[in-house]
Amino acid sequence: MRKRIRVVTPITTVGLVNAKGYQAIAGPDTEISVVQIDRGPASIESEFDKMLAIPDTVFKIMEAEREGMDAVVINAMGDPGLHPARQVVSIPVVGPAEATMHIASMLGHRFSVVTILGSVAPMLGGLAKTYGVFDKLASARWIGIPVLELETDPKRLVESLVQESITAIKEDGAHVIVLGCTGMFGLVEAVQSGLAQQGYGEIPVLDPIPVAIRMAEALVDLRLTHSKLAYPPPSDKRIVGFDVPARK
Amino acid sequence: MRKRIRVVTPITTVGLVNAKGYQAIAGPDTEISVVQIDRGPASIESEFDKMLAIPDTVFKIMEAEREGMDAVVINAMGDPGLHPARQVVSIPVVGPAEATMHIASMLGHRFSVVTILGSVAPMLGGLAKTYGVFDKLASARWIGIPVLELETDPKRLVESLVQESITAIKEDGAHVIVLGCTGMFGLVEAVQSGLAQQGYGEIPVLDPIPVAIRMAEALVDLRLTHSKLAYPPPSDKRIVGFDVPARK
Amino acid sequence: MRKRIRVVTPITTVGLVNAKGYQAIAGPDTEISVVQIDRGPASIESEFDKMLAIPDTVFKIMEAEREGMDAVVINAMGDPGLHPARQVVSIPVVGPAEATMHIASMLGHRFSVVTILGSVAPMLGGLAKTYGVFDKLASARWIGIPVLELETDPKRLVESLVQESITAIKEDGAHVIVLGCTGMFGLVEAVQSGLAQQGYGEIPVLDPIPVAIRMAEALVDLRLTHSKLAYPPPSDKRIVGFDVPARK
Amino acid sequence: MRKRIRVVTPITTVGLVNAKGYQAIAGPDTEISVVQIDRGPASIESEFDKMLAIPDTVFKIMEAEREGMDAVVINAMGDPGLHPARQVVSIPVVGPAEATMHIASMLGHRFSVVTILGSVAPMLGGLAKTYGVFDKLASARWIGIPVLELETDPKRLVESLVQESITAIKEDGAHVIVLGCTGMFGLVEAVQSGLAQQGYGEIPVLDPIPVAIRMAEALVDLRLTHSKLAYPPPSDKRIVGFDVPARK
Amino acid sequence: MRKRIRVVTPITTVGLVNAKGYQAIAGPDTEISVVQIDRGPASIESEFDKMLAIPDTVFKIMEAEREGMDAVVINAMGDPGLHPARQVVSIPVVGPAEATMHIASMLGHRFSVVTILGSVAPMLGGLAKTYGVFDKLASARWIGIPVLELETDPKRLVESLVQESITAIKEDGAHVIVLGCTGMFGLVEAVQSGLAQQGYGEIPVLDPIPVAIRMAEALVDLRLTHSKLAYPPPSDKRIVGFDVPARK
Amino acid sequence: MRKRIRVVTPITTVGLVNAKGYQAIAGPDTEISVVQIDRGPASIESEFDKMLAIPDTVFKIMEAEREGMDAVVINAMGDPGLHPARQVVSIPVVGPAEATMHIASMLGHRFSVVTILGSVAPMLGGLAKTYGVFDKLASARWIGIPVLELETDPKRLVESLVQESITAIKEDGAHVIVLGCTGMFGLVEAVQSGLAQQGYGEIPVLDPIPVAIRMAEALVDLRLTHSKLAYPPPSDKRIVGFDVPARK
């Protein structure tokens, strides 16, 4: 079944989105398109950044539905806009945090998320509470590298991820590792290889964007979308200061 | 101890804010000031409305701190902007949902929230999960009257609130009732009187804004504010499309 | 990416497996093969039946790995053999109960499972505890029709499923419905249509086998499998009375 | 609104109660009065000590209501008599453990209590379970100084509190510190200063008696008291060996 | 192994204790002795009554240890004095609520307690939280007959217990029934017979005192007692107004 | 009351069952008999081993009921066959893991299980979830000695158990220790003595088989058995490859 999936990147920095990479990991019937928000933060590293990203992210999701997309993936680990978007569109909207936390729950009994900065850790804990998987979150660890420096020193990046992953396994009891930033796209093999070299070869490592894309594909193929009882549509009303797109 | 508390109303509809009423229920040392957001929805009745209210709400909270306020109360039951605001200011920021849910937890073993519309109920459940009081939430019930019609028929409003409260007590096992919209300000006595007439005279009923103002006063008097370990400040970065105020 | 998925049916009754139907709902790169166990019960309607199904189910999963399969789906809602199989094979093993309960958790805040007989309900509750989603299980309801009579009266079957689903929505607060038996394969459209006729048109209904096959495909594509820290391999030892296949 | 708050100290040792200090931290409209129990332990450092303190504490609370008090604060961290007192009086009765644990829950995601002796720690854990905040209790730590020696060496006391607080932050993940004995009254500034000197300057530290007094004031101002559905009044009956005061 | 078990009745009303009945249901090696408290309430029907019963109950338990008893059973469903007693004696102290709630948890997935009065129900819920079995407590129901009237109309008593048990099974989902007052001693057979007549013949019904005596016997035979890490002994101190027995 | 208890050992290795030892620790009215399974694994050290043990274990339990036994104890810490057996017999079936975890919950607030191999630890965690005591499981630790080598070096065995128990107490906060393999029968005194020598003299240590036998005796004396609402009997059906005994 042919399907069109829109990846919405909720930051305004240009050059971080890897459209070719996303297409490469998608299924043969899937056409990936990408957009970025026009208004919002350069990167998301806090609840504050996230709130600035949410409105335009949701508008881009509404536009995606109007343009005939079959599903949307939000390209940031804080799942910005996930719940409000589900109220105003009928196509599946997939958040990488929600998707990876549930898949990780099926691959082991406890997982850790290894993210960029300590300022993100409380937000990940809060998401785990919202999604009902807090008991399985062994820890939220971080490497101390901001989003916009992730590409500066790839070797140090992978080494830091491997090191924090091993600490999560040994000290926090993690069975599964989730890469905690969608900007870490494509590093799974290097991290798994690093883990294997240190004797942790059988630990699943989840890359959030590929997981989210596969989840979106599966929902489309299964003709499933979110329940309107959980995400009831808002009534129309006057909005000041935002150019809200028409709903489909 | 003299203190200045700012009530930030996160909707753009003019005429609903009762500044005199808030001052009347505040302590003798407290000076209440009110502002409304400039950009955002006419009312908040969904996650979608809420996301549009959050950025300007947080900006107004930042301005309140710069103007020397001692604390801020957010004037909407969804606590819009609570967590991001706490990251960028050092004064206490009080959300009425968080404050009433915790106070209700101290007055009985289970509480129900009686709100305006069914579209708000999942949001209240989500807040209870975030605040760790979901097990004490007996139910989230609603009266089917939108925010902007709350003042249309006061008698019907009170009767509906009494009726849903009794159902919450009898069928859901609630010990305490929380009015689920800050637009219900000032109705506690009428609701308690209605409950007493039907034999439920010893049931606490919480009015969210007075509870939140008292909580803000107490935090100021106690020289307490939010932990920066829970609400870490974001790093500065380029923002497009929002006129972010300078931090204090 | 081409992938071979084996559906292992853990009952000995012949004629219930719909190999063509499974292939039809699989992805274009997926080759589905089916086997049934040789030793075990005619159907699974209790913990007792399930224990008799487990050993040969696990052996068939071991054989599937040796024959080069990329993943296995267990064709029964009790997920018989899921945990022991994951200890002895390295390919992903997907249980339909685990997969649907996690996917349902992403589509709404509470879900109900509508199954065949009351004797199955405690088992489903136990699985929800094991998988950590018990708080989201609104209810386990049943229609009172045994597995081997599911095909006797299709109209009554669908009507019963619709009726119990509506009760789950109205009385138990379910947002999402999970069909609670893999023998209900292919009924999702009829159930959704029945729900829509009674005003419940926007409720996701999950068919366990399609969900599990899509999950298996996604795991293969993502090169993910279960953590050996959660499912440690057993040491070899003498076994009496079972013809245990060699491990790969 | 003028209000009279009675602080009931549930130990028989004279000289530890700081009536002037309590008045100093109360609001301008509040008149604080203090009483101690006549029968009970010299200090409370165990469940055993606590049970001996409870009856006369509750009697003093009943007398406070008869004397026209508007609220009562129990002056011990074990909240002795909280639940039975709420059954026999109608004014608010505030326990410092319940009040600080809920306020701490609003200031960060996890808190630690730093108390006097290890023998108190299981009691604090039990209270956290009763109040439904056990998941947020990062740890109960102690300094190894008994109640009656708290005033012996103030410098060592503060140093010990600072040291255990830092351990709670670093090793247990606490965001907020609660002083675990009402005999530590007035030490918050010294502890915060000590924390700031070691780089933990933005950590809220809660002093239980001021928190409890502010909570009592707020409840009186809000005309709120405990639900009789949660704290049903007992029927009258013959009591041997206790001189039970008449109820109001 | 010969063993001496003391049943301590924490009420001052004479004539309710059935020493012969307790001996009859004990093991052949067990010698049961009974005492009542000298100071305390006529019956326990609230937290208030319970607090008055606790001190002398604990003193009687200390005396039992000094007199060479091997274990103590507290003869009231609120388990008055359980935790403080465990701090000051080394022999096992068994509370009927704790014992029956754990045994009930092993006989089914959910249990209901059917007790005397509604004023007792919140106390039972609180105990279930303390003991960590709240999730399994389907409900706490009551028959509206006070302790001292339990012997007035035995037929009505049994009928009421049967009726509330059936409601607990049908409406609350209970698998197991716990009689919620030790004054209901000896009624299990009549209640089970009543249940069987209405088609609920395979439901376990637990009589708290026999369960507690058997638990005490088992602990003595197993040479097990409570951990002093959970119930640390208090330090000695001056006590006013209570004649505290010497510890063993 | 005379009672006959059957201990069913779910492994095929001969020589490990200590029938005399079990009789010695049973009550004076109890007659212990022992059987082993004919088909199954040499030892149980994984979910895989366990699944091979379950069918014949359940058959032996059915035979025990037909032969007039009053109760059955399963002689392995994974409680193999516990739930299916309870569906097909009416006598009490006791699992040592379930019984010790509940008794441990009554002796302290947190317990650790010290078992043989790391491959068993996830299974014990899973059982704790199923039995609803996961929050009280401080840790599952292991000594690295397989079942069939437990008798090789008794001194090293005891030393290892003492060492891991102390780590559980000091690092994991355990109040109570549970020996995590029924093959450790009879070692409680040596372990307690070792603990006492290192200053941990007041820690209860539970030996699973004596605990389970005492529990079985108590249930028989109390005329209690499992609720058929939790363990509904399966309907009859055709079974291939197993020689299922007739039900009583």
Q: What is the CATH number of domain E3-95+210-221?
A: 3.40.50.1860
Q: What percent of chain F has pLDDT over 90?
A: 93
Closest CA to D205 of D187, D167, D178: D178
Enumerate chain D positions whose Cβ falls within 8 A of a Cβ in F: 122, 125-126
Q: How confident is the model at residue B98 (pLDDT cuts 50, 70, 90)?
A: very high
Which residues from D are below 8 Å from F109, CB to CB?
A: 122, 125-126
The three-point CA angle C220-C223-C229 to 5° equals: 110
Tell me: pLDDT of C16 over 90: no
To test the contact with chain A by mutation, choose from D105, D109, D175 the residue with the greatest count of A C-beta atoms within 10 A, namely: D109
Task: Please give the residue of chain E at the shortest CA–CA distance from D230.
Answer: E122
Q: What is the mean pLDDT of residues A10-35?
A: 93
pLDDT band at A229 (very low <50, low <70, confident <90, very high): very high
Residues of chain C with CATH 3.40.50.12500: 3-95+210-221, 97-208
End-to-end CA distance of chain B: 22
Instruction: Dump pLDDT digits (tens) for B15-60.
Output: 888 899 999 999 999 999 999 999 999 999 999 999 999 999 999 9
pLDDT digits (tens, 9 = 90+) for B67-94: 999 999 999 999 999 999 999 999 999 9
CATH for A97-208, among 3.40.50.12500, 3.50.50.60, 3.40.50.970, 3.30.9.10?
3.40.50.12500
Rounded Cα gap, residues F203 and F187, in angstroms: 15
8 A C-beta contact, residue B61 and residue B48: no
CB contact under 8 A, C102 and A102: yes
E runs forming strands in chain F:
3-9, 30-36, 40-41, 71-74, 93-94, 111-115, 137-142, 176-179, 205-206, 239-240
* pLDDT tens profile E206-219: 999 999 999 999 99
pLDDT digits (tens, 9 = 90+) for F116-170: 999 999 999 999 999 999 999 999 999 999 988 998 999 999 999 999 999 999 9
Output the pLDDT for position A193.
97
Query: What residues have CB less than 8 Å from F198, skipping those under 6 apart?
Result: F162, F166
Q: What is the pLDDT averaged over residues D137-154?
A: 93
Of B46, B234, B244, the CB nearest to A87: B46
Residues of C in contact with B125 (CB under 8 A): 109
Q: Work out the pLDDT band at F211, boundaries 50, 70, 90.
A: very high
- Give the pLDDT of residue E80: 98
The whole-number average pLDDT for the span E145-172 is: 94
- Contacts of residue E109 in chain C, CB cutoff 8 Å? 122, 125-126
Nearest C-alpha in C relative to F127: C130
pLDDT tens across E126-152, in order? Answer: 999 999 999 999 999 999 999 889 989
Residue D157's pLDDT is 96
What is the reported pLDDT for F1?
Answer: 80
Chain F positions with Cβ closer than 8 Å to D: 109
Q: Tokens 């079985």 — which residue?
A: F216
- Which residue, D221, D231, D209, is CA-closest to D94? D209
Q: For chain F, what is the mean pLDDT? A: 96
Residue type (1 letter), B122:
P
Query: Shortest Cα distance from C188 to chain A (angstroms)?
Result: 10
D241 to chain E, minimum CA–CA distance in Å?
A: 5
Within 8 A of B132 by CB-CB distance, chain A residues are: 129
Percent of chain F with pLDDT over 70: 100
Mean predicted lDDT score pLDDT of chain D = 96
| Bigger pLDDT: D212 vs A17 | D212
Best residue of F1, F106, F226 to probe chain E, by most E CBs closer than 10 Å: F106
Average pLDDT score over residue span C38-44: 97
The gap between the terminal CA atoms of chain A, to the nearest Å, is 23
The Cα of A46 is separated from the nearest Cα of chain B by a number of Å equal to 6
Closest to E61 (Cα-Cα) out of D124, D240, D47: D47
pLDDT in tens, A182-197: 999 999 999 999 999 9
Query: What band does F17 get if pLDDT is binned at 50, 70 and 90?
Result: confident
Residue F51 has its nearest CB partner, among C81, C129, C237, at C81
ipTM: 0.96
φ/ψ of residue A186, rounded to 5: 90, 0
pLDDT attached to residue F147: 86
Mean pLDDT of E151-162: 94
Distance from CA of E197 to the nearest CA of D (A): 35
3-state secondary structure of F130: helix
Distance from the Cα of E43 to chain B's closest Cα (Å) equals 25
**Local confidence band at A247 (pLDDT 50, 70, 90 cut-offs):** confident
Does residue F79 carry a pLDDT above 90?
yes
Tokens found for residue C135: 């708080």
CB pairs under 8 A between A and D: 3
Q: Which residue from C minimizes the CA distance to A136?
A: C132
Calculate Rg over the CA atoms of chain F: 18
Q: How far apart are CA E215 and CA A25, in angstroms?
A: 61
Q: Provide residues of D within 8 Å CB-CB of chain B.
A: 25, 27-29, 98-99, 102-103, 105-110, 131-133, 135-136, 169, 174-176, 202-204, 206-207, 210-211, 214-215, 217-219, 221-222, 224-231
d(C-alpha D55, C-alpha D57), whole Å:
5
Q: Which residues of B79-92 are buried (b: 16+ CB within 10 A; e: fewer)?
A: bbbbbbbbbbbebb
Chains that touch F (3 or more CB pairs under 8 A): A, C, D, E
Residue C67 in this model has a pLDDT that exceeds 90: yes
Contacts of A41 in chain B (CB under 8 A): 237-240
Within 8 A of C109 by CB-CB distance, chain B residues are 122, 125-126
Residues in chain E with CB shorter than 8 Å from the CB of B109 are 122, 125-126
Contacts of C230 in chain F (CB under 8 A): 122
B137 neighbourhood in chain C, CB within 8 Å: none
pLDDT in tens, B124-139: 999 999 999 999 999 9
Determine contact, residues E54/E29, Cβ cutoff 8 Å.
no
pLDDT of residue E103: 98
Give the model's pLDDT for residue D21.
Answer: 94
CA E245 to chain CA centroid, Å, is 24
Across all residues in chain E, what is the average pLDDT?
Answer: 96
Residue among D123, D70, D116, D121 at smallest CA distance from D94 = D70
What are E172-184's pLDDT values in tens digits?
Answer: 999 999 999 999 9
Task: Check CB contact under 8 Å for F234 and C42.
Answer: no
Do E and D share at least 3 CB pairs under 8 Å?
Answer: yes
CA nearest E99 in F: which residue? F106
Which amino acid, one-letter code, is at A178? V
Contact across the interface for C27 and A29, Cβ inside 8 Å:
yes
Percent of chain D with pLDDT over 70: 100
CB contact under 8 A, E49 and D234: yes
Residues B162-191: pLDDT tens digits?
999 999 999 999 999 999 999 999 999 999
| A71, β-bridge pairs | A5
pLDDT band at A20 (very low <50, low <70, confident <90, very high): very high
Q: Which residues are bridge partners to D187 per DSSP? A: none
Q: Which long-range contacts (CB under 8 A, 24 or more apart) does B191-199 make?
A: B191/B158, B191/B161, B191/B162, B191/B165, B194/B158, B194/B159, B194/B161, B194/B162, B195/B162, B195/B165, B195/B166, B198/B162, B198/B166
Task: Identify the residue among E36, E38, E47, E244 best suited for mutation to test binding to D, counting D beta carbons within 10 A and taking the highest.
Answer: E47
> Does A232 contact B55 at a Cβ distance shorter than 8 Å?
no
- C229 pLDDT higher than 90: yes
pLDDT for E112? 98
Contacts of D215 in chain B (CB under 8 A): 106, 218
Range(s) of chain E covered by CATH 3.40.50.12500 = 97-208
Tell me the average pLDDT across D75-98. Answer: 98
The pLDDT-based confidence of F208 (bands split at 50, 70, 90) is very high
Question: Residue E27 above 90 pLDDT?
Answer: yes
Query: Do F and C touch, counting CB pairs below 8 Å (3 needed)?
Result: yes
**With bands split at pLDDT 50, 70 and 90, how would you rate the model's confidence at E225?**
very high
